[in-house]
Amino acid sequence: MFISFEGTEGVGKTTLIRKIYDYFLSQGKDVVLTREPGGTPIAEHIRSLLLAVNHEEKMCNDTELLLMYAARAQHLDQVILPALNAGKIVLCDRFSDASFAYQCAGRGLSEEKLLLLNDNFVCRMPDITFWLDAPIELGMDRARARGALDRFEQEKVTFFEKVRGGYATLAARYPERLKRLDAAQLPDQVFEQALTYLK
């Protein structure tokens, strides 16, 4: 089983993933915990480029999109597909839905570019995607409480409202796969919401 976790900044993805990871371990399951961008040494290098705030030049939107997919291709090849082929459960913090939400809905890139990349480089989609949805200001307050903000976290509220709208579009388009969780609730309550779908 391949499970991805999506949402804007500070919605509690890391907390939920850890709870579900521990839940599967308690059930005796073989489970892999990973993230995007990242998950492999090469992909983690790409992640550092994407999140850095001190570039001497502005990263263009197409570069951002292509770097995301370069990291994703490496991640699929080295981690996700081998784990799935070995019968393991894969829990992934973000996957290709994030590219639609952030680069298409947020940045305004055409969906055709994304579909071209998906068709050529994404051979496996998640079986279920949990969209942790919470008001943007709540999430940003949580993100700021964690410490210094990365390049994405420094975006304006209007950007994240577009991203949130992108996730809403995906939830309406793929209701069988993408499940909305009310992430404004307490972590244990969010976990219980997810558990109802997993069971």
Burial annotation 61-93 (CB, 10 A radius, 16+ → b, else e): beebbebbbbbbbbbbebbbeebbeeebbbbbb
Residue 114 lies in a domain: yes
**Would residue 141 count as lying in a domain?**
yes
- Residue 100 maps to a domain: yes
How many domains, in total, are found in the chain? Answer: 1
Model confidence pLDDT, tens digit, residues 10-29:
899 999 999 999 999 999 99
Digit-coded pLDDT (tens) for 172-184:
999 999 999 999 9
DSSP structure class, residue 151: T
Model confidence pLDDT, tens digit, residues 112-134? 999 999 999 999 999 999 999 99
User: Tens digits of per-residue pLDDT, 71-120?
Assistant: 999 999 999 999 999 999 999 999 999 999 999 999 999 999 999 999 99
In a domain, 53, yes or no: no
The CA–CA distances, whole Å, from 183 to 36, 62, 72, 142, 192 equal: 20, 30, 26, 12, 11
H/E stretch holding 162 reads helix 157-173
φ, ψ of residue 3 to 5 degrees: the values are: -120, 125
Q: Where are the beta strands (DSSP E) in the chain?
A: 2-6, 31-35, 89-93, 128-133, 178-182
Are 77 and 126 in contact, with CB atoms under 8 Å apart?
no
What mean pLDDT, rounded, does the chain reach?
Answer: 93
Which pairs from 152-156 meet CB under 8 Å and 24+ separation? 152/9, 152/50, 152/51, 152/102, 153/9, 154/53, 155/106
More confident residue, 158 or 2: 2
57: in domain: no
Q: What is the CATH number of the domain that holds 133?
A: 3.40.50.300
pLDDT band at 42 (very low <50, low <70, confident <90, very high): very high
For residue 90, being part of any structural domain is answered with yes
Structural domain for 181, as ranges: 2-36+78-198
Reported confidence tier of residue 150, pLDDT bands at 50, 70, 90: low
Contact 141, 151 (CB under 8 A): no
Domain annotation covers residue 65: no
Q: How confident is the model at residue 151 (pLDDT cuts 50, 70, 90)?
A: low
Q: How many CB atoms lie within 10 A of CB 110?
A: 10
Q: Is residue 143 part of a domain?
A: yes
